[in-house]
Amino acid sequence: MSLAQQTAPAGTGVIVRIVPAALWAGLAIVTGQIVFAAMTSAQADWLGLTLSALTLFLGAVVASYSSRYMRADAAPGTFFVRLAGLVASVVLFLNSQTLIGLAVGWIASGLLLAALIGHKGGWAEARAAQRRTLRCFIAGDMALLAAFGLVYLSTGTVKIAVIGTAFAAGAPATAIAVSALLLVAALTRCATPPFAQWLLSSMTAPTPVSALMHAGMVNAGGFLLIRFAPVIEAAPAIRYAAVALGFLAAIWGIGIMAVRPDIKRSLAGSTVSQMGFMIMSCSLGAYAAALWHILAHGLFKAWLFLNAGSAVGMRAERLPALEPRMVVAVAAITLVAGSVMAASGTAGTEMVPLLLAIATGAATMGTIVFARIEIGSRMALAGMLIVLAVVHTLGVGVAQAIVPASGTALLPAPYAILLLAAFLGCWVWQMRRVARQESLPAQLYVRLLNLGNMPATNAGDRS
């Protein structure tokens, strides 16, 4: 009675082994390029290189993970080829110096991602999710192509590097049209409402695909906005719209995360929120903050997704919250500090992300200090928090070295303070509710819970 199983066809086995190796090799090459460029201070496309390194790192981790995770898949060969194609097309558009290369990579990555969402092709729900994603991406791709067409018509060049200068002097109407189209393209990839549904119903994708999608793919929108910052800066109206949409997505996504009972869609809500914040930062002109957010959030979210199998344990105590009184105090102080900065004229484009980061650190530190645990433990946790703060500061520093220090400020100081106050106000409201175990208002709750649900599929859909 031979129980030993037979191995998969040889070709598939080779692909399964080659793809992770190739991605690690790609990461090594890009890292080498970065090190070389840094040491020789040579001219380099830092934005493209850094994001390529992130994408290749996530791709390589996901591929290595998948070589175990996807071992029993019905079509591992297809899976790994698509995965490699996805990473390659993203790297292509990140590094492309022309509109053509960018568009090709952009569109290809969308098609491949949609195909991976529908990887379980026999499953109607997966096919529906794939179609939904495709529809959204095609809309975004159309917008992107239209924007590029307009750019070419008005500047006569496809070289991205010279487009910016051309636009600074160009007609504002064209700038507005191009910026609006680019924003639509970015929002479809960032899953920012009204384009969030595809991401919220993409749980039919195998876990590693979700990890790559939430960590690597959704960033494409942010990349686009930074790449074409000079164009968009010529259209303040579009920037205002983007700030508003980004802010709403940031809060809305938190709401989705808060009501979801399942781990994966809860993480998807978080992605909607984080990408909204990133779009908002970008549009405020805080490019360095946005870039650091892209890099760090990518790592953060990939880790949470790949670790999603660990969520089975049941928590014994009630849900944790930051000490609400601490949050109130910190919010108030932050607001005052912001106002002082604004009044003294030291508030830059990065004020909102920066002050929120400081507030987060302060509220967490406050909670640690007053936590009912041993003094030694409190010291240890405080130490950990300080390490995190240092890492964060260094990260923002690195990002500042990569992108042009910061763009032109968009919001007048009082409006920036209002924006800050909106975040802090929501936070205080939310933490008090969590601490008191209160639910959201019924109507809002139902609305948030239903987001991303698939339209009804037909009965008996099964072979």
Partner 1 sequence: MNMHAPLVATDSLLTRTEVAGLVALAARTVPPLWPLESAIAVNPLAGFEHLPFAQAVKQAATLFGARTSLPVTGWRNLVERGRIDERALRDAAIGHLGGVYGAMINVAPGVMAIDLLMARLLEEERSKTEDVASCPVPDAAFIAKWCAAFFDQSISASPMPNRALGLYRAVLSLARYDGEYASLAGRQGQTLLLTVPRDPYEAIAEGLAECGEGREPLDHLSSLVARLPGWAGHIRWRTEHADRERVTSAPAGMADLLALWLLLERADALSEPAGHKQTTAAGHWLARHFALDPNRLDAAKTERFNAIASLDDGALGAIFMTAAERTLSNRLVPKLTGAARSAVRDERADAQVVFCIDVRSEPFRRQLEQLGHYETFGYAGFFGLPMALHPAGGGHRKRLLPVLLSPQHDITEAPVDGKTGEAHQIAAEESRAAKASDLFDAAKLGSGSAFATAEATGPLAGLAMLARTMAPRLADRNRNRREARRQQSLEPRLDCSVSNARGNGFSLSDKVGYASALFRLTGMKPDTARLVVLAGHGGSAVNNPYAAALDCGACGGHAGGSNARVLAAMLNDPDVREGMAEQGFAIPQDSWFLAAQHDTTTDAVTVFDRDRVPQSHRAELTTLEANLAKAGKANRARRATLLDRTPDDLLTGAAHWGEIRPEWGLAGNAAFLVGPRHWTSGIDLEGRAFLHSYDWQQDPNGEALTTILTAPMVVAQWINCQYLFSTIDNDRYGSGDKVTQNVLGGIGVVQGNGGDLKVGLPRQSLFTDDGTAFHVPQRLLTVVLAPLKRVQAVVEANDILARFFGKGWVQLVVIDPQTGKALRWREDCAEPDEGTIIHSITC
Q: What is the DSSP letter of 215?
A: I
Q: Which one among 39, 40, 156, 261 touches partner 1, defined by CB under 8 A? A: 261
How many CB atoms lie under 10 A from the CB of residue 31?
A: 15
Burial 351-379 (b: 16+ CB within 10 A, else e): bbbbbbbebbbbbbbbbbeeeeeeeeeee
Matching residue, tokens 């086995």:
13
| Residues between 30 and 69 with contacts to partner 1, criterion CB under 8 A | 57, 61, 64-69
Strand partners, 159: 98
- Binding segment for partner 1 (CB under 8 A), chosen from 88-96, 104-112, 343-351, 449-457, is 449-457
Token reading at 267: 């993480």
Question: Residue 451: which of 208, 193, 251, 211 has the closest Cα?
Answer: 193
Q: Which one among 40, 43, 310, 344 touches partner 1, defined by CB under 8 A? A: 310
Q: Residue 16 CB, nearest distance to partner 1 (Å)?
A: 11
Q: Residue 128 CB, nearest distance to partner 1 (Å)?
A: 8
Cβ neighbours for 184, distance < 8 A, ≥ 6 positions apart: 139, 140, 143
Burial 390-427 (b: 16+ CB within 10 A, else e): eeeeebbeebbebbeebbebbbebeebbebbeebbebb
* CB closer to partner 1, 95 vs 273: 273
- The reply on whether position 436 binds partner 1 by CB under 8 A is no
| Residues between 69 and 88 with contacts to partner 1, criterion CB under 8 A | 69-74
Show the binding pattern over residues 176-205: x = contacts partner 1 (CB under 8 A), - = does not: -------------------------x-xxx
CA distance 351 to 121: 47
- The reply on whether position 11 binds partner 1 by CB under 8 A is no
Q: Residue 124 CB, nearest distance to partner 1 (Å)?
A: 5
Q: Residue 438 CB, nearest distance to partner 1 (Å)?
A: 8
Show the binding pattern over residues 216-255: x = contacts partner 1 (CB under 8 A), - = does not: ----------------------------------xx--x-
Residue 10, Cα to own-chain centre: how many angstroms? Answer: 37
| Residues between 349 and 408 with contacts to partner 1, criterion CB under 8 A | 353, 356-357, 359-361, 363-364, 367-368, 371, 373-374, 376-377, 380-381, 384, 388-389, 391-392, 395-396
| Residues between 146 and 175 with contacts to partner 1, criterion CB under 8 A | none
Q: Which one among 11, 156, 345, 460 touches partner 1, defined by CB under 8 A? A: 460
Matching residue, tokens 């384009």:
195
Matching residue, tokens 């599929």:
457
- The reply on whether position 301 binds partner 1 by CB under 8 A is yes
